[in-house]
Amino acid sequence: MVVESGQKVVFYHRWCKACGICVEFCPRHALGVRLDSHPHLAQEERCNSCGLCEFLCPDFAITVPHRHGR
């Protein structure tokens, strides 16, 4: 897995099926959808590393490196 260091949310796009769950349920509205329908951290300043997107992703395609409570 390629981890982009320094990012609050890391996506493993090969496992992502672009279902949109993470984008819809982010309580901070920090995620957006790319042109290829995959999610990305559109507004990093809004993300508080709550870890909900990592928890909800059915395909284990998200890691929040500094998730609260880890």
Q: Determine which residue in the list 7, 18, 42, 63 makes contact with ligand SF4, applying CB under 6 A.
A: 18
Integer Cα distance of 34 and 59 in angstroms: 18
Are 46 and 28 within 8 A, CB to CB? Answer: yes
Among 3, 4, 20, 32, binds ligand SF4 (CB under 6 A): 20
For residue 10, state whether it binds ligand SF4 (rule: CB under 6 A).
Answer: no
Report how far residue 34's alpha carbon sits from residue 66's, in angstroms, rounded to the nearest whole number: 24
Q: How far is the CB of 63 from ligand SF4 (least distance, A)?
A: 10
48 contacts ligand SF4 (rule: CB under 6 A): yes
Selection from 43, 46, 51, 39 nearest residue 12 by Cα: 39
Task: Using CB under 6 A, list all residues that contact ligand SF4.
Answer: 9, 11, 16-22, 26, 28, 30-31, 39, 47-53, 57, 59, 61-62, 64
